[in-house]
Structure 1
Amino acid sequence: MKIKSLLILVCLFLILPLQVKGQHKLPNTNYTALIKNSKSLTGALETAEELMIADPQNFGEFQIVFCGKSIHEITEANIMDPILKRIGSKPIKVIACGFSLNKFKVDRTKIPQEITTVENGILHQFQLLKKGYLNLDL
């Protein structure tokens, strides 16, 4: 009888750590992508949607940083309206690079309100990487 009780007790002690580990939630995974045109923006959006489907419990957010000479495309309603509608309330953000906006003389009043502007898009992405965001090259 004592052996049986001891064996049951040992089994409980071996199984208990496994149950505790199974209850820990993994931290959310955040992503970023640096893009240079609206076609890459569409690709980044599709990638974000697939990542959300693949792991909905651990998906954090996806920040798409738009830099370069095609930055003017963010002011074109025929390009951005379908993209912004598709993003909707998903945890996906489009970030515009202020340096690119200035260099290519983009009228900031025409930028949709859903798009955030930062002074330096590349620096913003480096800061995200330092915070543990995963970078996707597109």
Structure 2
Amino acid sequence: MKIYFLSSIVLLLTLFANPIQAQAQHEKENYVVLTKKIPQLEPIFLTAETLAEEDGKNFGKFEVIICGQTVKELTDKEMMQKYINKAKEHNVELVACGFSLNKFGVDRKDISPKFRVVENGILYNLQLQKKGYTSISL
């Protein structure tokens, strides 16, 4: 009787533990960085590259949200093109904070269409965190 009972417990643990492990192994690792300085994009891209190597096939999305007064620099299309190219190379999505664009008088037409604009970068960052993204603000 004890053997039957112990065998049943082991069987139940095996049945319920494997789906949890399988689910954890297949989840993608997603990242978001909120920055207020354009030059920080260089080390952010290096970080994305390293994490992509470490995570392998579990590497998911990597988004960079640009907020604050630095959004004025997004209108310098020549300077920004090198960052846009690196972002594409490292599979990083560039996001501009619409609230900052409005506050500092930057017309959305004056920035590259490669930038996705969200209405509120801070709110968007928190929403991604709720979805399980690993986040850091610089």
Q: TM-score range by the shorter chain?
A: 0.7 to 0.9
* Inter-partner Cα distance in structure 2 for 1:137 and 1:123: 13
Identity %: 38
Aligned to 1:98: 98
Aligned to 1:57: 57
Which structure 1 residue ranges, 4+ long, deviate > 6 Å from structure 2? none
**Structure 2 counterpart of 1:52, one-letter code:** A
* Inter-partner Cα distance in structure 2 for 1:49 and 1:109: 30
Give a deviation string over 1:22-79, Cα, whole Å, max 9, x none.
Answer: x933310000011001112222222111111222211101111100011111121232
Aligned to 2:6: none
Following superposition, the deviation at residue 107 of structure 1 comes to: 2.1
Q: Which stretch has the larger CA shift, 61-70 or 45-54? A: 45-54
**Structure 2 counterpart of 1:125, one-letter code:** N
Using structure 1 for the length normalisation, give the TM-score: 0.78
> Is the radius of gyration larger for structure 1 or structure 2?
1
In structure 2, the gaps of 5 or more residues are 1-9
Indicate the structure with greater helix content. Answer: 2
Aligned to 1:46: 46
Using structure 2 for the length normalisation, give the TM-score: 0.78
When residues 99 and 137 of structure 1 are mapped into structure 2, their CA distance, relative to the original with a 3 A threshold, is closer
Q: How does 1:101-120 map to 2 (within 5 A)?
A: 101-120=101-120
* Inter-partner Cα distance in structure 1 for 2:123 and 2:95: 12
* Inter-partner Cα distance in structure 2 for 1:94 and 1:51: 17
RMSD across aligned C-alpha pairs, in angstroms? 2.2
SS at match of 2:106: coil
* Inter-partner Cα distance in structure 2 for 1:56 and 1:128: 21
Aligned pair count reads 122
Give a deviation string over 1:91-125, Cα, whole Å, max 9, x none.
Answer: 31111011100111012112111100011000000
* Inter-partner Cα distance in structure 2 for 1:127 and 1:118: 12
- Report if the CA contact (8 A) 1:60-1:91 is conserved: no
In structure 1, the gaps of 5 or more residues are 1-12
**Structure 2 counterpart of 1:77, one-letter code:** K
